[in-house]
Structure 1
Amino acid sequence: MSVTERVIHEQFPFWKKALALELPELGNRTIVFVGCGTSYYLAQTLAAAFNLNGKTALAVAGAEWILHRAAYVGNRTDLTVVGLSRSGESTETVRALRESAAAGMDTLAITCAEDSAVTRAAAKSVFIETHAEEGVVMTSSASLMLLAGLRMAGVDLDESVITDAKTALQKIEADGPRLIDGRSHFVYLGAAALYGIAAEGALKLQEMSLSYSQFFHPLEYRHGPISLVDDHTLVVLLYTPATREEEERVARDVSDKGAAVIGFGGAGDLSIPVGGEGLARALVMLPALQLFGEQVAATKNIDTTAPRHLTKVVTLA
């Protein structure tokens, strides 16, 4: 078992601690989640979760917030800006928090690094302990920041989410490899709060296995991108319960064109159970998606502890 795979399997004791973590209230202002890479995709899911639970929120990439803030919120400053950064040192996220605070906005950092640049830049911070052996690719830390954010959004999480995530992880561990052979084009589909998770799944696959991957909203995929589907395509479809019927039609469409389908919470050549019907599903899916990236990397003999062109912390001069 590789170090990356072991960290994925060993993240759940940290989930248990995070389930009991005391978290701050965010007040009544519109919330803007900012982050880079994985943290930005988590931000997309968290913004959707807050909106679905009655709190206005949006997600903006760190550099976009710094350079093009008006394109997202106009001249508003009555906002709470929440920066997500595993390392606490991501240049764009740190700067986004500093500039937001200087403009009179409330600020909060969510990080896995205590006493880091983001905790010093924000008025408040949430520190979440993660696996000490996590490498360049975010696995345990991504799950933990998502867990904390979902709890802040009012999602009711208890230890059953750990049981459900382990079940999904065991299923992909046992059956995922049989669908990989001959597949070189990977597509991740997710709607609403699961769109950010689909994006994160695609990113994990790119980072870990140096494979070509895309992500889309499920029904949007028919509008052009489906032209690339053939018998080298593998589609990972993250089902949303309210639109499962429509998404099953998409699964049939791509299957008819030669694709293999992994369905999280719905039909596919491989169906992965994800537990209940609520927003906790986003968290349940994440470790299995992480492991699938590792499985594809293994078929290419790629060491996921040292992904090409990447570093654990992105800092810019």
Structure 2
Amino acid sequence: MCGIFAYLNHNVERERGHILEVLFNGLRRLEYRGYDSSGVAIDADRSSRNGTAREEGGGAPPPYAVAPPLVFRREGKIESLVGSVYAEVDAMHMSLDEQFLVHAGIAHTRWATHGVPSTRNSHPQSSGPWDEFLVVHNGIITNYEVLKETLIRHGFTFESETDTEVIPKLAKFLFDKANDGEGHVTFSQVVTEVIRQLEGAFALIFKSPHYPNELIGCKRGSTLILGVKELSAEDSVTTSKSKELFFSSDVCAIVEHTKNYLAIEDNEVVHIMDGNVQILKFDYSKEKPASVQRALSVLEMEVEQIKKGNYDHFMQKEIHEQPHSLTTTMRGRLKNNGVVLGGLKAHLKTIRHSRRIIFIGCGTSYNAALAARPLIEELSGIPVTMEIASDLLDRQGPIYRDATAVFVSQSGETADTLLALEYALKCGALCVGITNTVGSTLARKTHCGVHINAGCEIGVASTKAYTSQIIVMTMMALAIGADRTSSQTRSEAIAKNLSGLPGKVSEVLKLDNEMKDLAVSLIDTQSLLIFGRGYNYATAMEGALKVKEVALMHSEGLLAGEMKHGPLALVDETLPVIVIATRDDCFSKQQSVIQQLQARKGRLIIMCSEGDTSNVCPNESCRFIEVPQVEDCLQPVINIIPLQLLAYHLTVLRGHDVDQPRNLAKSVTTQ
């Protein structure tokens, strides 16, 4: 949820203004995650430690040999922070042109969990006077109250309501204790002892004037990426170790600088000093962490993917990118009327012998699995159950060794899904990951899996990842069922239809203006019901979720078979009801639903196959959304797109923020 970013230039001259802009742009790239405040920390003038420093401690000099860092924090949008920083820099008569051969800066966007959005609760959080230790944090520290009580007893005063503030104060406490007659302690030693005391999920970046020009990043349960950019001789003052290094909670913030990155693993402490990167592996059972070697990976992402291009919003862009994202999802995987999923190949026999397949996810990812469930049951002959990750954990539902647990997450970092993964691993089940993020925690911790390859998704409301997830799980069903001769004809038909699906999606995107007109007609309504069944029960759920997420309008996706068990009481001539009635095995049942809703004068909007309007509603009382007809199990990919467009246009017409919906974040990495 929170976004963290850091930038360190080593042996390459960069102006203070440039350093600030790199930090600000890093935060802008992380805006989509959702936030309510932001902040940065940079160095003051190096020529004098008192010339630009804030007076603290009764005029006493700072307890280190450099000028105190400059910390700027602000509630609200990033541009508010940018304006205030430049105003303060100007008021201090500080030059933006001053050049730094080496400089370490940190930045943060906060999504409030502990304490309301405010300047004092914003990050970086400080150890106290003179900002001896500064920390930016993504995650939740579950034992912060105990740590806070201990630190208060040792004389520390807390300024914020955050759980994060205990971290820099704990760092100062341990630093002072270690330096009390025992000589100088290293930065990594301080941080290692800090994380030894922390419980919960976190990604952290530490900055300290005791260790100028150094940064430390570490993580447990939250995402943290290291980016490395080696500079040419023309870019640097010296050819010796001239580089720029970046920490970020998302690769989207580093792709414009470098494609060389490292996905930091849990309990790794990454220390940047003198242009070198040292990786230490923390282990509770050992007093000292072990040094480890890791190779850099190369990002398969282009800068254009993180830009809106000719679109007004990222959500709009990503809806219209779906023909391309589906193509890339299937590329190289469709062969000879069958599929090849290299990530599952070695484990298919185990999956086929499973007593049960369990799909586990949250929100949109859960809905995508729900859309694929009927086909997986049909082609595999194995019972499939669905689990919302948080509910599975609350119940401690039984998972046995002969089960296959499939975890679905766009980011690969969803907290509840990862906790459910840890639970399933302990139970001994085969764990499969389906994610859009290479190098994510989900991708690394599952036994096997499939990368959906939908491309970077910036909008908080997932669109193209949803349809690509359905396609990956459809291909998974084909792979599992490939050894069953009874389903061979059906499987070949589905595989053949997959290749033509992007073209059908392009056709349905032509309904954009029609969906905008429908949004205009619904602008003043307070609620919306969407009925689906069979393959399209998930479509109803996901369509309603999109309207709820971004248009901030009450909407419910309902199983049409349950209509008479409560929901029918809501129906009258004012309540808009969308019924999904495209051609499949449930078509006749949906015709019956429509008749019953008409009998109660329901305000009906019917999604049907092209040219099928007279068969689903013979009179003129209904409004229609006509979509291309495809193979029944692929129809959810087609049917969700008009509902995505409807949600988008409703949001714009209502004047809400499309890409950053109220109270929501892109990657829910805390509970």
Q: Match of 1:27?
A: 352
Q: Quick one: which amino acid aligns to residue 260 of structure 1?
A: L
SS of residue matched to 1:296: helix
Q: Distance in 1 between matches of 2:399 and 2:412?
A: 27
TM-score, L = length of structure 2:
0.45
1:281 pairs with 2:635: yes
SS in 2 for 1:222: coil
Q: Is the contact between residue 365 and residue 408 of structure 2 (CA under 8 Å) also seen in structure 1?
A: yes
Structure 2: 5+ residue stretches without partners: 1-310, 334-339, 479-493, 617-621
Secondary structure of the 2:632 match is coil
- Name 2:504's counterpart in structure 1: 164
Decide which of 293, 299, 303 is 2:657's aligned counterpart.
303
**8 Å contact 1:11–1:131 — kept in the other structure?**
no
Distance in 2 (CA, whole Å) between partners of 1:55 and 1:2 is 45
2:587 aligned partner: 244
Q: How do residues 73-92 of structure 1 correspond to structure 2 at under 5 angstroms?
A: 74=398, 76-92=400-416
* Paired residue secondary structure (1:153): helix
1:37-96 Cα offsets, whole Å, 9 max, x none, are 1111112222222113233211100112223243xxx46331100100111100111121
Structure 1 residue aligned with 2:221: none
Alignment of 1:181-200 (within 5 A): 181=521, 182-200=524-542
Instruction: Give the Cα separation in 2 of the matches to 1:247 and 1:68.
Output: 34
Structure 2 SS opposite 1:89: coil
* Residue in structure 2 matched with residue 230 of structure 1 by the alignment: 572
State the Cα distance separating 1:247 from its structure 2 match.
Answer: 1.0
Distance across 2 between alignment mates of 1:231 and 1:185: 13
CA distance in 1, matches of 2:555, 2:534: 20
Give a deviation string over 1:157-187, Cα, whole Å, max 9, x none. 423211222222322x132233332433211
- Note closer, same or farther for the CA distance 1:100–1:90 as it changes in structure 2 (3 Å cut): same
Alignment of 1:56 with 2:56, yes or no, is no
Equivalence for 2:605: 261
Change (3 A) 1:174 1:262: farther
Which digits, 9 at most, give the CA deviation of each residue in 1:100-147, with x for residues without a partner?
A: 122110011100111111112211121122233532110111111111
SS of match in other structure, 2:360: strand
Q: How does 1:6-155 map to 2 (within 5 A)?
A: 6-20=317-331, 21=333, 22-23=340-341, 24=344, 25=348, 26-29=351-354, 30-53=356-379, 54-70=381-397, 74=398, 76-154=400-478, 155=494
SS of the residue 1:241 aligns to: coil
Query: Structure 2 vs 1, CA of residues 214 and 301 (structure 1 numbering), >3 Å: closer, same or farther?
Result: same
**Cα displacement (A) at 1:206:** 0.3
SS in 1 for 2:416: helix
Q: What secondary structure sits across from 1:284 in the alignment?
A: helix
Tell me by how many angstroms 1:200 deviates. Answer: 0.8
Q: Report the Cα distance in structure 1 between the residues aligned to 2:457 and 2:473, rounded to whole angstroms.
A: 23
Distance 1:272 1:130 in 2: 26
Q: 1:103 to 1:294 in 2, by over 3 A?
A: same
Which residue type is aligned with residue 565 of structure 2?
H
Task: Select the structure that is richer in strand.
Answer: 2
Identify if the C-alpha distance between structure 1 residues 42 and 260 changes in structure 2 by more than 3 Å, giving closer, same or farther.
same
Unaligned runs of 5+ in 1: none
CA positional deviation for 1:302: 1.5
The aligned amino acid for 1:241 is: D
Residue 316 of structure 2: aligned partner: 5
Range with greater deviation from structure 2 (263-272 or 204-213): 263-272
Residues 179 and 81 of structure 1: CA distance in aligned 2, closer, same or farther (over 3 Å): same
Q: Is the radius of gyration larger for structure 1 or structure 2?
A: 2
**2:514 corresponding residue in structure 1:** 175
Return the alpha-carbon distance in structure 2 between the equivalents of residues 179 and 129 of structure 1: 32
Q: Percent identity?
A: 24
The answer as to whether partners of 1:183 and 1:231 remain within 8 angstroms in 2 is no
Is the CA contact 1:275–1:281 (under 8 Å) kept in the aligned structure 2? yes
Number of residue pairs aligned between Structure 1 and Structure 2: 313
Question: What SS does structure 1 have at the residue aligned with 2:498?
Answer: coil
Tell me: CA distance 1:305–1:41, structure 2 relative to 1, closer, same or farther (3 Å).
Answer: same
Letter in structure 2 aligned against 1:151? M
Report 1 or 2 for greater relative contact order, CA contacts < 8 Å, sequence distance ≥ 6. Answer: 1
- Runs (4 or more) in structure 1 with deviation over 4 Å come to none
- Partners of 2:409 and 2:435 within 8 A in 1: yes
CA contact (8 A) 1:179 1:260 kept: no
Return closer, same or farther for 1:44/1:288 CA change in 2, 3 Å cut-off: same
Q: Letter of the aligned partner of 1:60 in structure 2? A: E
Check 1:231–1:86 CA distance in 2 against 1; reply closer, same or farther (3 A cut).
Answer: same
Counterpart of 2:544 in structure 1 is 202
Q: Is the 8 A contact 2:579 2:604 kept in 1?
A: no
Aligned-pair CA distance for 1:264: 3.6
Higher helix share: 1
**Distance (whole Å) between structure 2 residues aligned to residue 101 and residue 133 of structure 1:** 29
